[in-house]
Amino acid sequence: MRLFLLLVAFPALVSSFVGMLPSRHKQSQGRQSQLRMMAKLPKVAVMVNGLPGAMGKEVAAACLRRGLEVCSVGLTGPQVDEECVDVDDGEGGKPQTIRLVKGPVTGAGDEECDARLQGLVAGYRESGTRLIAVDYTHPTAVNPNGMLYARHKMDFVMGTTGGDRDKLLKDVEEAGIYAVIAPNMAKQIVALQAGLETMAGTFPGAFEGYNLRVVESHQSSKADTSGTAKALIASFGTLVGKPYKVEDVIAMIRDREGQLEFGVPEAGLGGHAFHTYQLLSPDGSVEFQFRHNVVGRRIYAEGTVDALTYLAQQHGPDKKVFNMVDVLKAGAMK
Amino acid sequence: MRLFLLLVAFPALVSSFVGMLPSRHKQSQGRQSQLRMMAKLPKVAVMVNGLPGAMGKEVAAACLRRGLEVCSVGLTGPQVDEECVDVDDGEGGKPQTIRLVKGPVTGAGDEECDARLQGLVAGYRESGTRLIAVDYTHPTAVNPNGMLYARHKMDFVMGTTGGDRDKLLKDVEEAGIYAVIAPNMAKQIVALQAGLETMAGTFPGAFEGYNLRVVESHQSSKADTSGTAKALIASFGTLVGKPYKVEDVIAMIRDREGQLEFGVPEAGLGGHAFHTYQLLSPDGSVEFQFRHNVVGRRIYAEGTVDALTYLAQQHGPDKKVFNMVDVLKAGAMK
């Protein structure tokens, strides 16, 4: 009953914000400012690995929108039949064909793939262009690919989750290459998560006596609980002054009807991440709410390209492996 | 049209959370923890100044709920006719009568009031009780009362806004007394405000390209824009990377019908503070929302008593004047 009441509340809310969509004018202001930032960039080419996967396509589109060169070769998985895939900027721009090369299945590498990469890297180096890989492949490919990048001294942005993360880090550090490694590339969500963590650390117990309720919705294929939700629930626990068990405070929506009622647009049913956190005072007179609602994959692709442009500007001898908080903090130095 | 669409969305939302009201069990857990904290307190009596005003009554009730002694005398304004007022804990507890004494109208003081206070302070000092004033009076009384507390070396919590704040601070510092001076005693809202300010300072531009919309509702008698809204809009401006003019992004609701549609409960029309902040990505695929909705005055009274119990534990020779961020940070030291 409680959940039902909550659900009926949302559709009108989301439709209400449709009227608030920004004008094209404001969008282009944002892009111009991004282009200004790009002017300071060294020449960069991006190797998109994980095509023809949906995230690979989104990343290629985001690169093209920002005027970055997309390398005409990309790594793919062993089960992929296509030899080529077309990518475009998602806004009506001219498509570009990417030739797909099978990536290594084990850390020992793959003769053909290694030879191909060696040639590519040498070619780009000669032309004064920095080749950076973006990896949205498969958890099983995280370590073989990490070792491949290490062998060829290729800097990379790793958006693929899973694999042996300690080994990945060790391989990268031993090779002395630059990388951004982050399980969540949606930088605004990472900012919120880090912001609430800092707030909780600074003001623990400020919400003593308050009660937390969380509702989240993801596409029905996602079985586990959102990692972001878990992190935020930990921060809210510190603010309330008592640690929560995630399952005690969360309601997860995975059915079509519930999702539509929660305000997920029809087009987003196949890929979305909606979160609402509520802190209610003991007497019910005060309510705080935090929401982050994402439809589709664009926020992750944009964050990935932010990570990539950040990485392209790193040349220091000390710190070479970064995460999204590093990328976010760089905003303070612009 | 946009505003209308937003408005129709809220009533169902608020009613949905009514089902989430916490149990009495959880409330009493919070109180027990507060009482444990109280065990460490020195003996304290609270002089509630500003009765029979609504905030004075709320503060007296919050003090009684927490087992603090409320002084049987309180200062009031020159236009008040009542000689006495009854206060209680707001939860069915026994009422207590407070005798009202006219406070000073000018900084020169008032013979009768000063004599009365001198006797009170001496009496409490003899009995080993720390007498602390809480001030919710009138902007015109801020400085005369500040000077009165200074003359009698009375520590105080100043919740009254207005007056000459620099002079207030100077008088308190010269007298060497302890005080918490804060324009907003709702400590959870102060925590959110400080948290977002820190987040903005750490990650400026993280929401580049996003668009901000703010809707706030207060009782129709409030003419000006919410100070909290102004502060949060400044932080969001830093996050977006462009300063906002408050009037460009805010919609203010001051009419009964609009307030009910926004989700303000009927009983809260005469006193509430509802705020919704929305950050929307350029393509509309990502939405962040922050809300803080307050009905009535209890959150301010509870925060005031938190400030008071914090103040009662301060004895250091150095810092003697505090604000709500100091009070909040003390949570980390519990």
In tens, the pLDDT along B54-85 reads 999 999 999 999 999 999 999 999 999 999 99
Task: Give contacts of A208 with chain B, Cβ < 8 Å.
Answer: 30, 33-34, 331
Q: What is the pLDDT of residues A85-144, one digit of tens each?
A: 999 999 999 999 999 999 999 988 889 999 999 999 999 999 999 999 999 999 999 999
At residue A285, the 3 state secondary structure works out as coil
pLDDT of residue A317: 84
Res B6: pLDDT: 39
In order of their start, the domains of chain B are 2-21+187-296 (3.30.360.10), 41-181+299-333 (3.40.50.720)
Q: Of residues B114 and B331, which shows the higher confidence score? A: B114
- The beta strands (E) that lie in B125-231 are given as 130-135, 155-158, 179-181, 211-218
pLDDT at res. A10? 38
Q: Which pLDDT does position B178 carry in this prediction?
A: 97
**Does residue A30 register a pLDDT over 70?**
no
CA distance B101 to chain A (A): 32
Residues in chain B: 334
**C-beta atoms of A299 and B285 within 8 A:** yes
Dihedral angle, C-alpha B122, B126, B127, B128, nearest 10 °: 100
Task: Check pLDDT > 70 for residue A205.
Answer: yes
Task: Please check whether residue A87 is in contact with residue A55, taking contact to mean a CB–CB distance below 8 angstroms.
Answer: no
pLDDT at residue B109, as a whole number: 82
Chain A residues with beta carbon closer than 8 angstroms to that of B191: 199, 203, 206-207, 239
Mean pLDDT calculated for residue range B210-230: 92
| Predicted-assembly ipTM surpassing the 0.90 threshold | no
pLDDT tens-place string over residues A301-318: 999 999 999 999 998 888
Closest chain B residue to A265 measured between Cα atoms? B285
B168-208 pLDDT per residue, tens: 999 999 999 999 999 999 999 999 999 999 999 999 999 99
pLDDT of residue A318: 85
Residue B333 pLDDT class (50, 70, 90 cuts): low
Interface test with A, best of B262, B286, B329 (most A CBs within 10 A): B286
> Is residue B5 over pLDDT 70?
no
Our answer to whether residue A218 is catalytic in this structure is: yes
| Residue A185 vs residue A30, higher pLDDT | A185
Residues of A in contact with B293 (CB under 8 A): 286-289
Tokens 């005055």 — which residue? B297
What positions of B carry a catalytic annotation? 218, 222
Interface test with B, best of A279, A288, A309 (most B CBs within 10 A): A288
Taking alpha carbons only, the member of A212, A238, A286 closest to residue B302 is: A286
Q: Report pLDDT digits (tens) over A41-56.
A: 779 999 999 999 999 9
User: From the list A204, A207, A280, which residue is nearest B332 (CB)?
Assistant: A204
DSSP state, residue B325: H
Mean pLDDT score across all residues of chain A: 89
Which positions in chain B touch A18 (Cβ < 8 Å)? Answer: 5, 284
Contact yes or no for B5 and A26 at CB 8 A? no
